Amino acid sequence: MEWVNTLLQGILLGGLYAMFAVGLSLMFGVMRLVNIAHGDFIVLAAYLALLVVNHLGFSALASLAIVVPVMFAFGYVLQRLLLNRTLGQDILPPLLVTFGLSIIVQNTLLQFFSADSQKLSQGDLEVASINVAGFSLGVMPLMVFCSALMVIGGLQLLFYRTSLGRAFRATSDDQQTARLMGINNAHVFGLAMALAMAVVSIAAVFLSIRTSFDPTVGPARLLYGFEAVIIGGLGSLWGTLAGGVILGVAQAIGAQIDPGWQILAGHLVFLLILVVRPRGLFPRSVD
C-alpha cells in the first residue's frame, strides 16, 4: 500500500513537471526554439502573482485572472520584437539570446525582491485531501494534474481542430511555403510564444503554492522541463505529460528509498531513457 501511494504521489507530481515542460514542447514544435530562459520566466510569473496577491488582495489561484493575460501579452511582444530576429538555420543565436534573458531576469528579480524565499498561500485548500480507494490524495496536487490534462488537451484541440492550429503546423513544416500561402510567420510565432507563456503562468502559480521560490530557482525548473520533454519526445504534447509523470514517479520512488535520492533518481531515469531511446518515448513533431 505504501508503494502504491508513492506511485500515486509521483504521478500527481508529474502533472506539475508536465506544466513546466509543455511550453518548451510548444516552442520547439512550432519554432524549433530552445528557450534557455524558460525556467526564469516561470519564476517571473510567480513573482507577478505575488505582486497581484499582495497589492490587489487576490487569492493565489484568483491571481491567474491577471497573470495569464499579462504573460500572454509579454510572450507575444518578446517574440515579435526580439526572438523572431534570432530564428534561422543556426540554433546558436536564440540559445545565446535566451541565456542572456535568463541572466537579466534573475538579476532584475534579485534587485527588486532580494534573494529571500517567497511563497503564496491558498489557505485550507493546500492541506485538503480526499480519500480514493483507501488512499489520501491532496486536493491541490489533483488540481494541478487535472489542469495539466486540460491544458494539453486544449492545445491538442487547438492544433488539430482550428485554423490557427493549421497555421502553426504549416509554419512548423515549411516556413517559406506557409509565407507564400499568406501566413504571417512572425505573427504565428508570436502567438505560439504567447500560448507558451500563458501555460508558464499557470505552472508558476501552482509552483508558488506548492513550494517556496526565489529568483535563482529558474534553472532547476528548466532542467525538469527539459527532462520531461526529452523523455516524452520532442514536439509531442501528450508525450510531454508522460515524460513529466515518469520523472515525478522516479523522484517519488527515489525519495521513498532514501530522501537524498529524490532528485538523483529522476536524473538517472532520464539518462537511462536517453541511452535506450535518444529521441524519447513518443517522438513526434507538432504537425
**Tens digits of per-residue pLDDT, 19-78?**
999 989 888 888 888 899 999 999 999 999 999 999 999 999 999 999 999 999 999 999
- Alpha-carbon span 238 to 286, nearest angstrom: 11
**What is the model's pLDDT at position 287?**
40
What nine digits make up the cell of 254? Answer: 527515489
Predicted TM-score (pTM) of the model is 0.92
Closest by CA to 204, choosing from 36, 47, 33, is: 47
| Strands annotated E in the chain | 129-132, 135-138
| 125-141 tens-digit pLDDT | 888 888 877 778 889 99
pLDDT at 173 over 90: no
Q: What pLDDT score was predicted for residue 90? A: 83
Which grid cell is 2?
A: 505504501
pLDDT at residue 93 above 50? yes
Mean pLDDT of the chain: 91
When pLDDT is averaged across residues 151-155 and rounded to a whole number, the result is 94
Closest CA to 104 of 48, 37, 43: 37
Confidence of residue 285 (pLDDT cuts 50, 70, 90): very low
165 and 158 Cβ atoms separated by less than 8 Å:
yes
SS3 213: strand
pLDDT of 282 reads: 84
Residue 86 and residue 79: Cα distance in Å, rounded?
Answer: 10
Calpha distance 228→282 (Å, rounded): 12
Say which CATH class 2-276 falls into.
Answer: mainly alpha
Mean pLDDT over 260-265 rounds to: 89
Query: Once rounded to an integer, what is the mean pLDDT over residues 209-214?
Result: 93
Distance from C-alpha of 182 to C-alpha of 210, rounded to nearest angstrom: 45
Q: Taking a C-beta distance cutoff of 8 angstroms, is the pair 137, 6 a contact?
A: no
Q: What is the pLDDT of residue 286?
A: 41
